[in-house]
């Protein structure tokens, strides 16, 4: 049976949940409260949000009503930012990276295409999810224990070996690391290797912090594959001054 009711635009979804319970939209009378799934945005609407704020500029939205058995709490984190998220169990894991709301809450300013997810069961057991894993429903990773499942967003760094064009992918939990640390994470033992920017092909100092550059892709080169270029800017008006020399290494 369909129930209809007019609501004031400032009505919250918590109040609508109470109305739903009173009228018994669902036959199960033991349900304490309902959750509302925003079909367009693919997320659960906050209980304290009003109808007008949910609508935004839209004239109407599609909302599914859910009971507590359909949803689960998870932890989603990036760097030092952590969010508790109430989400539909049947939702794919990929939804966590595709949803702008979650990414904004974590202040993630990197394209989801440059990220991956790590499922943290405990500190000693971490699983980097591949493309097939990302298609699984979140319920596949929920344990029977009361411990919340933790998904960590990591940045994917791609390193291409200049010699044979093999690509190495490394996931990092934040960008506050140096080129030297990134080389150590790659487990390449040759000390005479350098990282170059894929875009500019300029050799990066081992003290360069990834936080200061936008590169996600690098080239791994050996010393004999580099050259030193010196740029000597001359200003005719300052002939009495000693010209400065800029030296930079390139591929």
More confident residue, 109 or 87: 87
Mean pLDDT of the chain: 83
Distance CA 88, CA 63 (A): 13
In a domain, 4, yes or no: yes
Domain boundary among 129, 157, 185: 157
* Cβ atoms 75, 55 nearer than 8 A: no
Question: Residue 71: helix, strand or coil by DSSP?
Answer: strand
In a domain, 136, yes or no: yes
Q: Are residues 192 and 148 located together in one domain of the fold?
A: no
In a domain, 101, yes or no: yes
Q: Are residues 75 and 153 located together in one domain of the fold?
A: yes
| CATH number of the domain where residue 110 is located | 3.10.20.90
Q: How many domains does the chain have?
A: 3
Q: Are residues 78 and 99 located together in one domain of the fold?
A: yes
Q: Are residues 112 and 79 located together in one domain of the fold?
A: yes
More confident residue, 20 or 92: 92
135 CB-near residues (< 8 Å, 6+ apart): 92, 93, 94
**Domain extent for 151:** 69-157
> Nearest to residue 220, comparing CAs of 251, 188, 196?
196
pTM exceeds cut of 0.85:
no
Tens digit of each residue's pLDDT (9 = 90 or more) over 148-161: 899 999 999 999 98
Q: Are residues 80 and 123 located together in one domain of the fold?
A: yes
Distance CA 245, CA 12 (A): 66
Burial grade of 76 (CB within 10 A; 0-12, 13-18, 19 or more): buried
In a domain, 237, yes or no: no
In a domain, 234, yes or no: no
Domain boundary among 43, 66, 89: 66
Supply the pLDDT for residue 242: 47
Task: Supply φ then ψ for residue 16, to 5 degrees.
Answer: -65, -35
């Amino acid at each position: 049976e369909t129930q209809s009711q007019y609501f004031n635009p400032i009505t919250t979804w918590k109040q609508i949940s109470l109305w739903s319970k009173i009228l018994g939209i669902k036959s199960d009378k033991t349900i304490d409260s309902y959750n509302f799934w925003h079909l367009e945005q693919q997320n659960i609407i906050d209980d304290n949000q009003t109808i007008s704020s949910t609508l935004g500029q839209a004239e109407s939205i599609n909302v599914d009503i859910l009971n507590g058995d359909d949803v689960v709490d998870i932890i989603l984190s990036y760097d030092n930012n952590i969010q508790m998220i109430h989400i539909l169990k049947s939702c794919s894991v990929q939804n966590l990276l595709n949803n702008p709301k979650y990414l904004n809450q974590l202040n993630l300013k990197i394209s989801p295409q440059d990220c991956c997810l790590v499922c943290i069961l405990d500190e000693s057991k971490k699983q980097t999810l591949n493309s097939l894993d990302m298609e699984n429903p979140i319920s596949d990773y929920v344990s029977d224990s009361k411990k919340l499942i933790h998904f960590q967003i990591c940045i994917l760094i791609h390193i291409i070996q200049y010699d044979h064009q093999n690509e190495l992918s490394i996931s990092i939990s934040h960008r506050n690391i140096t080129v030297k640390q990134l080389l150590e994470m790659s487990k390449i033992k040759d000390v005479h290797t350098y990282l170059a920017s894929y875009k500019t092909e300029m050799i990066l100092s081992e003290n360069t912090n990834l936080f200061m550059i936008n590169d996600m892709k690098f080239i791994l080169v050996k010393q004999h594959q580099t050259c030193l270029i010196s740029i000597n800017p001359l200003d005719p008006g300052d002939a009495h001054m000693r010209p400065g020399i800029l030296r930079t290494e390139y591929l």
